[in-house]
Amino acid sequence: MKNIMRKLHVKEDQIPPDAVMNTFDVKYGKLLKTENVVLRNGSWRTTSDDPFFIFQFSSPFQQAYLELKMNKQFSEDEVIFVYYASDENFTQKNTVKISVNSNKMYEGVIFFHETVQFIRFDPCEHIIDLASFHIKIIPLISETDCREAILNKYSCIKGNGIVLVSHDLTKTGAPILVCNIARSLIDRGEQVIVLAQNGGILLHMLQQDKIPVFVLTDLFEKKSLKQSKRDIFSTFIRAFYQIGYSRVLLNTIISGNIAKIFKTEGFKIITLIHEMRTSIEHYNFGRYGEDIRLYSDAVVFPAECVKKDFESLYGETSNAYIYPQGYFQKENADRASEILVSEKYILGLGTFSLRKGTDLFCSAAIEILKRGIRDYQFVWIGDYEDTELYYWLKLQIQKAGFEKYFIFIPLLPENSYNSMVKSASAFWLTSREDPFPNVMIDAVFNKVPVFAFLHAGGADSLLADGRGFLISRFDIVKLADLTLQSLKNSKEIETMTNTARNYAVLNLQFENYIQKLIDLWE
């Protein structure tokens, strides 16, 4: 954004009233000024770089419901809001960036760092034909405004509903679980809305499934929720309660940041804990766990080891339950032809990170390849969260001379993912710490042999009694040895995978998991 540090001179331009009516729907405010943009034949066109629209509001506010519908030829990936109070200068730090989806749309709630009365909307940096577009802004000043924003977006919302809270909508285990829970609850006739603290790729999937979702942008901080923002969020949550939502599921320990708010507003709270001790300590989630233990009506853990880790930090939790999440039946698909892999491959899944043990996966694969064995490719599917780790591992593989045997895939459509899991020769769960990963359940249900490290999480319980392979001390040489030895014995593998699947069918049905959660709200 160019020339952002400049004074706003509040002079109302001569803007055609029909254009304002058709393009902008602004509650408590008006379009005050435009710059470097003109309306020609019913279409907005920029006349110079850095075009913008300025809105003035009659009352100050700190949160707003925003709806954008941009022209489908719009080439920008994001739009920019600059905001300030009174007639102060625009500043670079007072900028909220809103990402639009593939349909050039955005719907959500934005929160500002300070009280604002003027908003500047910068749709692009360059000269383009904006054509027709629509902006709707509802400042959320009162509970009535919050209810209007909620019902404006989803008129289908009725009472007796459930709020599902996710820390984000990235394509990772915990947010995927929230999406699956939402689907299952809706299939049962429950009224559901997803409240995401931050966005992500799953937002589009929820919208496709017509699942109500609100993304609360720029609200939550890693260490604390400032009091002013806490008050704002309370108003928003109170509006949900007043239209009939009284049950909430907080997913992950991060959501403990808002547990007290939901309890104060009268919600019955179930919290799902997916983090183990090292992650809680490393990411400074300590306070969140304390509030979860204090305000939750039920705390659900996927495995006994996760509960023990939690209680080692916060003390005995009297309302604790151990419910592993179960297998969510996914769309079947043939093997994805666009993914060029060999007939035999060993699969790893998860965010590219030390916690997920991507480095251990690569080192064990190199151990096999060093022995002159070229029967398998090694495929890792997961987003590159730690780009530094990604590039160092790529260098290690390159210097070892084994590049052609590794395939790294950041993200896959659901049907392609399913086929990749089903066709794998083996699944390596190389996590250093992982409570009860969905990907392990997927592998077991697809009768893929699972190799995991002992005492690293919920794999201990699922793979016990001959249902999988557990390797002690993160021993990658033993992982390589055991994999090669076991895959030679097809009968042993068939017996093991059948045993594991039969156990999972009896104990890990997703619908049973959902029913247990519903019962906890009763």
Please tell me whether residues 243 and 350 are part of one structural domain: no
**Residue 398 main-chain phi, psi, to 5 deg:** -65, -45
What is the number of helices (H) and of strands (E) in the chain? 17, 23
Q: Give residue 83's pLDDT band: very low, low, confident or very high (50, 70, 90).
A: low
Of 83, 109, 141, which residue sits at a domain end? 141
| Buried residues in 371-388 as b, exposed as e (16+ CB within 10 A) | eeeeebbbbbbbbbbbee
pLDDT at 5 over 60: no
Contact criterion met (CB below 8 Å) for 169 and 206: yes
Query: Which one, of 414, 416, 408, lies nearest residue 338 by Cα?
Result: 416
Mean pLDDT for the stretch of residues 3-28: 55
Please tell me whether residues 315 and 349 are part of one structural domain: no
Mean pLDDT of all residues belonging to the chain: 84
Please tell me whether residues 106 and 170 are part of one structural domain: no
**Alpha carbons 398 and 41: distance in angstroms, whole number:** 58
Most confident of 118-122, 229-233, 328-332, 502-506: 502-506
pLDDT at 93 over 90: no
* CB-based contacts of 189, cutoff 8 Å, min separation 6: none
**Alpha carbons 296 and 249: distance in angstroms, whole number:** 10
Could you tell me which residue, 86 or 48, shows the higher pLDDT?
Answer: 48
Please tell me whether residues 306 and 351 are part of one structural domain: no
- Residues 200-244 pLDDT 10s: 888 878 878 888 888 776 444 444 455 566 776 787 788 888 888
Q: Give residue 152's pLDDT band: very low, low, confident or very high (50, 70, 90).
A: low
**Alpha carbons 45 and 129: distance in angstroms, whole number:** 5
pTM for the model = 0.80
* CB-based contacts of 308, cutoff 8 Å, min separation 6: none
Provide the number of structural domains found in the chain. 3
Please tell me whether residues 180 and 136 are part of one structural domain: no
Residue 339 lies inside a defined structural domain of this protein = no
Query: Which one, of 309, 240, 302, lies nearest residue 279 by Cα?
Result: 309
Please tell me whether residues 317 and 368 are part of one structural domain: no
Instruction: Tell me which DSSP letter residue 88 carries.
Output: P
Strand, coil or helix: 206 = helix
Residue 140 confidence (pLDDT): 82
Residue 65 lies inside a defined structural domain of this protein = yes
pLDDT at 24 over 50: yes
For residue 90, what are its two tokens? 């625009």
Task: Count CB neighbours of 485 within 10 A.
Answer: 11
- CATH of residue 134: 2.60.120.260
Domain that holds residue 272: 150-322
Residue 331 confidence (pLDDT): 56
